[in-house]
Amino acid sequence: MTWDSTEWDLGGEQDLLSGNSRQQGRQDRLIPLINVVFLLLAFFIIAGTFRAADTLDIEPPLAETGGTLDFESQVLYMSRDGALALGNKPVGAEQAVEGLVGMLARDPDSEVQIKADARVKARDILPLLRQLSDAKITSVRLIAIRRRAKP
């Protein structure tokens, strides 16, 4: 028995190889897309700011001027219905003052920041400020959102 080149079915192997090369071509076209997705992910991780969501649903008031916030400070949240939260825990007024006094005992240079809803009336915040004053907490900031200047 002699082997003739016509007996070899090379066409099937070539189709198999060309099928692999076609699949390889699809994969090669996906690599730039994957690279772009990872670059966008890295950009948003670096450029973005991560912070925990507020415990209470609060829309701070708008302000014309203001400074920068110290993110290391303790934040006391006050919702429009007067509910308070210290950090991420809902608290009463007395618990809030006690927690803030304890925090200031550990770090006397820190300040208290109050983030109250824009619809909270001043008459609702004043009793809390009096309690803080009675507890010798004198460095208090009210958080507001800076209003954008009109062009």
123 and 117 Cβ atoms separated by less than 8 Å = no
Residue-level pLDDT at 37:
94
Task: Decide if pLDDT at 36 tops 90.
Answer: yes
Question: What is the sign, positive or negative, of the torsion defined by CA atoms of 100, 139, 141, 134?
Answer: positive
Residue 84 to residue 95: CA distance in whole angstroms? 10
Q: Higher confidence at residue 101 or residue 22? A: 101
What global pTM score does this model have? 0.56
Task: Decide if pLDDT at 116 tops 90.
Answer: no
Residue-level pLDDT at 107:
82
Q: Give the model confidence (pLDDT) of 55-100 as tens digits.
A: 666 666 666 565 665 555 678 888 888 889 887 789 998 999 999 8
Q: Residue 74 — φ and ψ, nearest 5°?
A: -80, 135
Both tokens assigned to 48:
């973005």
